[in-house]
Amino acid sequence: MRFWKHHVSTGSTFPVARNCTAMLTLLVLMQVTGIKESHSQDLHFSQFFNSPLTTNPANTGFLPESDFRIGAQYRSQWTSIPVPFKTFSIFGDAQFFRDRFETGWVGLGGVILRDVAGSGNLISTKVYGSAAYHQMIENTGLLSAGFNIGWANKRIDIAKFTFDNQWNGKFFDVSAPNGEIFAANSINYLDVQVGLNYAWFPTDDIYVHGGVSAHHVNRPRETFFNERPGYDNRIPARYIAFADAMIKLNEQWIISPAAYFSTQAKATELMLGMHANYNLTGDGEQQLIGGVYYRGGDAFIPMIGYQWKSLRFMFSFDANTSALKNATNLRGATEFAIMYNGYYNENADLRQSLCPTFAR
């Protein structure tokens, strides 16, 4: 079941969309996702493996092939409805203190998220700083633990909303009182996540990686209304588990199966799939990437990409398979990702990669 991403937190009637198409779409979304309470759900990406810091803070500095990386993602969701949702992400992380620890290092990084949704322009901005410690276990394992702390802001343009109280039987009268008492149109809160990862690489051709993380462990309050008895405005804790692998079949193919599970409040998400890298040039400097994933009960997600040396581009498309396809015409979302992995010095070629690669 897919997360329904955005809505005003508990404490009042949800604003009604400005037109019938958007209102019908909203009803379909509520039926499909089974949302009974107005809890805010998290942002997410179909290419979760290209969003390492939001998947698990223990991924910070978890770089088996490089010393640092920077990346960006853009997701446009439900473009067939009048007010599609758009999500942006920029992140970077790096390894530090490799000379201070004989068999470990520290990872430091940060991520900025911005999301715009709905006719009321519900805008979310989140800025996180992440830290993790990575410890080698003999020569075939790596254990990591990390956390991130961030500032989150959400704001809405109340003037762009219409409410059920403003319906006069024929149309919405925006000059009529809406019956809602907003305490603020902008809110801020502190947010904390923790995570644990483990990687196993028994040979040069096999790499297995998995982890678990807990998000919103401080349970911050998120509401645009005054506190009301009987309403819990704290963000529900979100739990994520993932597992992936890289398996080198030969000098032409590396396959990467992966699984992702997330649960928050009564919403769950399960993704399974695989993508593969095909060696175009023999030395691995140019690779073609392709694959497909499936989000249980919601969408097939084909993806394609290209890697040139340390720079990778990927594009994916969510094709809805649930009842939501009647509102979206199968067009669930499009998503772009770009990532660059780099090295601190020109002797980087001497460093051993823990992942299977085409060039050794």
Instruction: Read off the pLDDT of residues 162-185 as tens digits, 9 standing for 90 and up.
Output: 777 778 777 776 777 776 777 788
Q: Map residue 253 onto helix, strand or coil.
A: strand
What pLDDT score does 80 carry?
A: 62
Question: How far is 55 from 154, CA to CA, in rounded Å?
Answer: 21
Q: Map residue 102 onto helix, strand or coil.
A: coil
Q: Per-residue pLDDT for 12 more than 80?
A: no
Q: Per-residue pLDDT for 321 more than 90?
A: no
Q: Per-residue pLDDT for 34 more than 60?
A: no
Mean pLDDT of the residues in the chain: 83
Give me the mean pLDDT over the 251-272 stretch.
95
What pLDDT score does 85 carry?
A: 83
List, in sequence order, the alpha helices (H) in 154-282.
none
Q: Per-residue pLDDT for 133 more than 70?
A: yes
Nearest Cα to Cα of residue 185 among 159, 219, 152: 159
Residue 176 sits at φ, ψ, to 5 deg, of -80, 150
If one counts every other C-beta atom within 10 angstroms of the C-beta of residue 36, the result is 9
Q: Per-residue pLDDT for 24 more than 50?
A: no
Nearest Cα to Cα of residue 117 among 148, 147, 88: 88
What pLDDT score does 350 carry?
A: 52
Q: Per-residue pLDDT for 4 more than 90?
A: no
Confidence of residue 65 (pLDDT cuts 50, 70, 90): confident
CA distances from 140 to 96, 202, 319, 354, 355 (A): 21, 5, 39, 9, 11
Per DSSP, what are the bridge partners of residue 243? 210, 259
Q: Per-residue pLDDT for 267 more than 50?
A: yes
Question: How far is 175 from 183, CA to CA, in rounded Å?
Answer: 20
47: tokens are: 């290419």
Question: How far is 250 from 284, CA to CA, in rounded Å?
Answer: 12
Give me the mean pLDDT over the 135-146 stretch.
95
Q: Which architecture does CATH list for 20-160+177-350? A: Beta Barrel (2.40)
Burial level of 332, CB count in 10 A (0-12/13-18/19+)?
A: buried
Top mean pLDDT of 45-59, 164-178, 214-228 is at: 45-59
